[in-house]
């Protein structure tokens, strides 16, 4: 569904120039074609013939760099497994692993109807109706395919290595998306950046079996594939409805896509596209004056009706209001006043400047330059990336967990900045070494050297010293800038390696003997969480009564004083 547009005027100019050189003279084009055919025949054809061409070596080099970026991204996430063992980290990934194990052992139908009596004791939890099954189904499908190929792998190992594998796929999707909006060099740099950047590694290390491990790949790949146009209007509208209906088949989702305020924006964009298509249909059948009248009346009436309907449905309770997390994005003090449990989570705190540098390093400084390059050479694709970057920066500053959504676009725009600098400073020699095109007027002047005034207005062009100096940058300046860029990239790689091997590879206790838990994943009962918190913050007498009401037999007390 992607429409591939020319994203650079230089590409367009080069194609025109090449076309002009081949079509300017019939005999020369025939000679060039014969020479190319003979060169291909001399190369032996096939792989050797392809590699004898510059385009073949360029493709091979791009594939090699992309492959090495994927390998580096996968390897950088294995420090915890190499230093310790293959184990699931943190509490949420541990529950996801338990759910995946139940899915592969008992089947999908039993998974949807599974009541977990060992979580949220003594209440229990209906897992099928309170969990997004995409992560579990993905891991279970990979486990099924491997066993179908007689590659015997335990489901725990699939869960441990799922995020590193998808990080390699994220490098590929980021390369494709960045290549679409800029060029191939920027795409390769973006793939290398996102492979090792700490902002993404923090949620995709081996053992971190959570939704974020596969969500970034799905996000980037969806951005690469999605491109609305009039050609795909019927297909887009059809698949939007089908996707909406299929998403509602998930028990945990249900009617949320049509009954929650968070989804109304997507529905509004879909309706807007329908209105746009209808106006395009009317434009070909009405006069200009009739179309303008219809446009203003129709848009005003439709906007008013939709606005009043949304307000009425929200007021009557048919459409649920914004959730607490969404309100806290716009009003940072909302959660502290109304929903303290949201403010108590460390991931919901505002992001500090240290966190930006810790997770992105030098990319924080180069990211605005890439954004400026995209805005300076704006087109449809770059409008989307610019809006994505601006909104992601704001939301990442409000909530630290949203740093994960900012990281991909920072890698993309930083790659655009580095690629533009390298193209400017390293490509300068190539431009200067190209032979200048002789002006026909100079050739006529040489022929008529004895008669300088035969043609009126014919003046020989003299290149001044200043113009000669501006033809290209000096080798010293280019060398200094290039070395500076390489040093920055080397510092970024060292920082990413240090952060990955130390901060995000520490051991953590995920589960103790697979015992029953009082509070575990999916914050669905605030009063039960408050009861456990009250027991931990009260004195021994009050805490003892609460613990006994929850059937607690033993309490492990760790004192650090």
Please work out, in degrees rounded to the nearest 5, the angle formed at the alpha carbon of residue 337 by the alpha carbons of 331 and 339. Answer: 90
pLDDT tens-digit readout, 221-276: 999 987 767 777 888 888 889 989 999 998 888 888 888 888 888 888 888 888 88
Provide the 10 A C-beta neighbour count for residue 502.
10
Tokens for 470?
Answer: 């501006």
pLDDT at 42: 44
pLDDT at 160: 93
pLDDT at 545: 92
Chain-centroid distance of CA 289 in Å reads 44
Chain-centroid distance of CA 280 in Å reads 32
pLDDT tens-digit readout, 40-70: 444 444 444 555 677 788 889 999 999 999 9
Contact by Cβ (8 Å): 202, 504: yes
**Can you tell me the distance from the alpha carbon of 99 to that of 102, in angstroms, rounded to the nearest whole number?**
5
pLDDT at 473: 56
pLDDT at 441: 46
Count of helix runs (H) and strand runs (E) in the chain? 29, 2
Provide the 10 A C-beta neighbour count for residue 213.
28
Provide the 10 A C-beta neighbour count for residue 331.
12
278, 271, 238, 244: which is closest to 259 by C-alpha?
A: 244
Q: Which residues of 503-538 are buried (b: 16+ CB within 10 A; e: fewer)?
A: ebbeeeebeeeeeebbbbbeeeeeebbeebeebeee
Contact by Cβ (8 Å): 417, 189: no
Q: Tokens 């390059």 correspond to what residue? A: 373
* 3-state DSSP assignment of residue 174: helix
Beta strands in 505-548 (DSSP E): none
pLDDT at 542: 92
Chain-centroid distance of CA 74 in Å reads 17
Beta strands in 445-510 (DSSP E): none
395, 391, 237: which is closest to 330 by C-alpha?
A: 395
Q: Which residues of the chain have pLDDT under 70?
A: 1-52, 228, 324, 427-474, 503-513, 521, 560-561
């Amino acid at each position: 569904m992607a429409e591939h547009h020319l994203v650079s005027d230089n590409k367009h100019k080069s194609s025109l120039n090449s076309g002009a050189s081949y079509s300017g003279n019939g005999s020369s084009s025939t000679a060039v074609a014969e020479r190319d055919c003979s060169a291909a025949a001399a190369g032996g054809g096939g792989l050797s013939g392809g590699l004898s061409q510059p385009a073949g070596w360029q493709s091979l080099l791009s594939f090699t760099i992309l492959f090495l970026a994927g390998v580096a991204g996968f390897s950088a996430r294995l420090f915890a497994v190499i230093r310790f063992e293959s184990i699931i980290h943190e509490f949420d990934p541990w529950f996801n692993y338990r759910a995946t194990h139940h899915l592969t052992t008992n089947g999908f139908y039993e998974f949807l109807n599974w009541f977990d009596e060992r979580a949220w004791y003594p209440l229990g939890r209906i897992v099928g109706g309170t969990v997004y099954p995409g992560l579990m189904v993905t891991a279970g499908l990979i486990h099924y395919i491997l066993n179908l190929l007689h590659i015997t792998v335990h489901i725990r190992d699939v869960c441990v290595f799922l995020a590193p594998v998808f990080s390699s796929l994220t490098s590929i999707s980021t390369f494709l998306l960045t290549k679409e909006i800029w060029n191939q060099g920027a795409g390769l740099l973006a793939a290398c950046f996102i492979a090792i950047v700490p902002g993404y590694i923090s949620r995709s290390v081996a053992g971190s079996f959570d939704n974020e491990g596969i969500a970034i790949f799905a996000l980037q790949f969806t951005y690469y594939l999605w491109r609305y146009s009039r050609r795909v209007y019927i297909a887009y509208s059809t698949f939007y409805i089908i996707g909406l209906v299929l998403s509602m088949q998930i028990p945990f989702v249900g009617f949320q896509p049509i009954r929650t305020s968070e989804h109304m924006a997507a529905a509004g964009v879909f309706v807007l596209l329908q209105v746009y298509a209808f106006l395009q249909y009317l434009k070909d059948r009405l006069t200009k004056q009739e179309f303008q009248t219809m446009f203003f009346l129709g848009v005003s009436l439709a906007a008013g009706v939709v606005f009043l309907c949304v307000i009425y449905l929200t007021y009557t309770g048919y459409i649920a209001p914004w959730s607490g997390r969404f309100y806290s994005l716009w009003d940072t003090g909302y959660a502290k006043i109304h929903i303290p449990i949201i403010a108590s989570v460390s991931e919901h705190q505002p992001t500090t400047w240290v966190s930006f540098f810790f997770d992105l390093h030098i990319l924080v400084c180069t990211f605005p330059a890439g954004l400026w390059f995209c805005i300076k050479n704006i087109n449809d694709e770059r409008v989307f990336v610019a809006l994505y970057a601006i909104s992601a920066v704001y939301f990442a500053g409000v909530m630290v967990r949203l740093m994960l959504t900012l990281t991909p676009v920072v890698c993309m725009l930083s790659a655009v900045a580095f690629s533009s600098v390298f193209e400017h400073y390293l490509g300068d020699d190539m431009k200067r070494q190209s032979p200048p095109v002789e002006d026909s007027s100079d050739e006529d002047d040489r022929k008529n050297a004895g008669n300088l005034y035969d043609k009126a207005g014919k003046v020989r062009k003299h290149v001044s010293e200043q113009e000669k100096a501006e033809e290209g940058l000096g080798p010293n300046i280019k060398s200094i800038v290039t070395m500076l860029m390489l040093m920055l990239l080397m510092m970024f790689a060292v920082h990413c390696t240090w952060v990955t091997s130390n901060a995000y590879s520490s051991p953590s206790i995920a589960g103790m003997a697979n015992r029953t838990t009082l509070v575990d994943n999916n914050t669905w009962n605030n009063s039960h969480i408050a009861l456990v918190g009250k027991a931990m913050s009260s004195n021994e007498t009050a805490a003892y009564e609460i613990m006994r009401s929850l059937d607690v037999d033993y309490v492990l007390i760790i004192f650090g004083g």
